[in-house]
Structure 1
Amino acid sequence: MTGRARWILVLAVSFLLITGCDQRGPDGEQVDPKEKIVIKFSHVVAEDTPKGQAARRFARLVQQRTGGRVEVQVFPNSTLYKDGEEMDALQQGAVQMIAPTTSKLSCLAPQWQLLDLPYLFENKEQVYQALDGEIGKKLFATLEPHNIHPLAFWDNGFKHMTNSKRPLVHPRDFAGLTFRVMINSRVLEEQFRCLGARATGLPFSDVYSTLAARQVDGQENTMSNIYSQRFYEVQPYLTVSNHGYMGYVVLTNAAFWRSLPPDIRKIIEETMTEVTLWEREQAASLNEKNFKQIESSGKVKIHTLTPPERIEWQAAFTPLYRQFKPVIGNELVEAVLRMKNYSSSVSRGHATGWLFKQFPESNTGGVRAGKL
């Protein structure tokens, strides 16, 4: 190495040491590596999805606002743990934060199956009203006994159907087909049985390869997941159905959470609240953008359900409410139905929710035993 080359190398190393390879606290002093708090944040979707983007944003803001005292390491796309592994990893402390879909939590508490009921919500405003209010608090409370501390609900929008065989317009079109569903959700399994189809649970990381190999015929997902995971490349039929909601719950290990200094917990909570609002906006805009990209790809035949077709689907799903209301909890289901009925009345001038036409007893806030 020449003298000039050695001099350039010395300058480069000195620049890196001065400009940020070390972590400094709020007072400008370097953070002792022994005092740094590392949070491993594992999730199973791509980085360019709403959850993936929000996780990165949260990590960046927390590191900035704690002056480097907290480092959030994000592991996307099942690179650290898969669907069936991340919950155990969190409870055992192998990771400190995950953001599974609400469906995955039914293995811990059956109340979470509430959010898998098809056509439970008509729009995202009803979703937020439920999850940000008393219903969300009741769901959160079911997790604390499992060494899990919930932090926030993140959004991914409403699900749609894709398949490789034929257009799905009427419930009868599902007959004989096999669909992938998220693991741990009996509601989703029974949802497809109501349509005359079969259901098989698979980790998210295995869905593309399974669809490509035609080992299953179809799946349900949001537009951002259908696009980012390239499902549309191997699923030539897409039905815009908005039949079910898909959300995430940001969770942390409860023992780890209690071990954090109060000022760090405060920063994390405030940052999480801010990022949650941002994430919900991203989810809406990204789903719209990805749908246009899927549409313009020319690889998919798209059918959007008409109002009469939507009513057909809703009628096919009615048995699910009767079957799972006792499992989920009468009070919890009724609370959502009352909220939905009130929301519809306010926004449209009268109660138009399909469930209240099927079960008019819910209009007065008390569903008689055996009705739903």
Structure 2
Amino acid sequence: MKKWIKTMTVVMGTTLLLSACNTSNTAKNQESNASGSSDGYEKTTIRLAYNLPQDHHISKGIEQFAKDVTEKSNGAVNVQVYPAGQLLSDKDMNQSILTGGVEMGVNSATLWASTVPAMGIFDVPYVFTNYEKAGEAINGEFGDKLRVAMEEKGAKVLLFADYGFAQFANNKRPLKSPEDFKGLKIRSIGDIPSEMIKAYGASPVFMGGGEVYMALQRNTVDGATSGTTAMLQRKYDEVAKYLTINNYSYLEFLLAVNLDFWNRLPEKTQALLTEEAKETEEWIRQQAQAEDERTAKQLEEKGMEVYVVPEEDISVWKEAAKPAWDAFHKTGGDLGKELLKMVDKE
């Protein structure tokens, strides 16, 4: 009898202990749910918009960034991606980021130049002529100065996304020197490149990327400048015979976040976003060179006649593009001039 009572006492004690533990765990879970945290992350939703095609290497990197942040936070930091202009056009993107209409967005440095004039340096011809130098500059003092300038306007740069180098395609003749541009009508991608096109003796024409194919087909323009990734995606090989590889402009896109929103995020969430952005930036930079090489080769295989400007001739192209440098001196402000000195010295 005593043995039975003793056994029951132990069982009841164990049951009460387990019950107390369960009650404690339930209370903790309820407290966690009430505060909206998971694995130490406070619950938040981040809308991320971009305009590039979903199969572009930048898009793939951004999609993976969003997926990794969401998964590593166990769903607490939910990054919702709106690709290919579904939420915002590239023209509306920057203002929406600055006003908090959207938390994050990817847009070109060319378009950010209207907010931070010095950002137009990526359009200045032959500032960067290889991937390594561009990466070193962006990861160093050069990039830091641009990040500070963006924050002063209300946006934090999470990463620089390398699009790759801009080239020239046309359907008239091989462009083996600046003189070969004379008399041509060339679709431009910005004010600074337009100054270079004019300096080469051609006429710049502004139009959206989606309009170029038809314009080349109808001879509205004789040629266009873009990256070879876009040329392949938009089938330039069907309407342009000649491709000149001269790496005149290193095109950059920025993943930017509204600064006020960023400052309200917990440090743990900021650390996660920063870490994943760094890894994504490195991956995109590696892909930029690989994609440039792959797509240029494919365009050649599809019938385009490709001319690669010899490295020793680049100085001639750069000297002929001096009016574009002069234009940036006027529009890039003091920071623009400082950045030009930094890269020119290198």
Same fold (TM over 0.5): yes
Match of 1:114 in 2: 121
Question: Separation in 2 of the partners of 1:200 and 1:259?
Answer: 43
Match of 1:275 in 2: 280
Match of 2:26 in 1: none
Question: Separation in 1 of the partners of 2:335 and 2:148?
Answer: 15
What's the offset of the Cα at 1:30?
Answer: 12
User: Does residue 305 in structure 1 map to residue 309 in structure 2?
Assistant: yes
Which residue identity is paired with 1:312? V
SS of the residue corresponding to residue 118 of structure 1 reads: coil
Match of 2:15 in 1: none
Out of 19, 39, 43, the residue aligned to residue 46 of structure 2 is 39
SS of the residue corresponding to residue 100 of structure 1 reads: strand
Out of 26, 37, 50, the residue aligned to residue 57 of structure 2 is 50
User: Does residue 124 in structure 1 map to residue 124 in structure 2?
Assistant: no
List aligned pairs for 1:172-321, cutoff 5 A.
172-182=179-189, 185-298=190-303, 300-307=304-311, 309-321=313-325
Q: Mind listing any 5+ residue stretches in structure 1 that lack a counterpart?
A: 1-24, 343-372
Q: In the superposition, relative to structure 1, how do residues 108 and 221 fare at CA in structure 2: closer, same or farther (>3 Å)?
A: same
SS of the residue corresponding to residue 126 of structure 2 reads: coil
Question: Separation in 2 of the partners of 1:104 and 1:315?
Answer: 26
User: Does residue 70 in structure 1 map to residue 77 in structure 2?
Assistant: yes
Native 8 Å contact 1:180 1:219 kept in 2: yes
Per-residue CA deviations over 1:64-105 (Å, capped at 9, x if unaligned) read 111011222223332332221211222233322222121111
Question: Separation in 1 of the partners of 2:335 and 2:244?
Answer: 33
For these two proteins, the number of residue pairs brought into alignment is 312
Question: Separation in 1 of the partners of 2:56 and 2:117?
Answer: 28
What's the offset of the Cα at 1:210?
Answer: 4.0
Native 8 Å contact 1:46 1:229 kept in 2: no
Bigger relative contact order, structure 1 or 2 (CA pairs below 8 A, ≥6 apart): 2
Match of 1:10 in 2: none
SS of the residue corresponding to residue 107 of structure 1 reads: coil
Question: Separation in 2 of the partners of 1:40 and 1:178?
Answer: 39
More strand by share: 2
SS of the residue corresponding to residue 160 of structure 1 reads: strand
Question: Separation in 2 of the partners of 1:70 and 1:270?
Answer: 14
What's the offset of the Cα at 1:254?
Answer: 1.5
Task: Give the TM-score taking structure 2 as reference length.
Answer: 0.81
Question: Separation in 1 of the partners of 2:285 and 2:278?
Answer: 11
Q: Mind listing any 5+ residue stretches in structure 2 that lack a counterpart?
A: 1-28
Question: Separation in 2 of the partners of 1:335 and 1:260?
Answer: 31
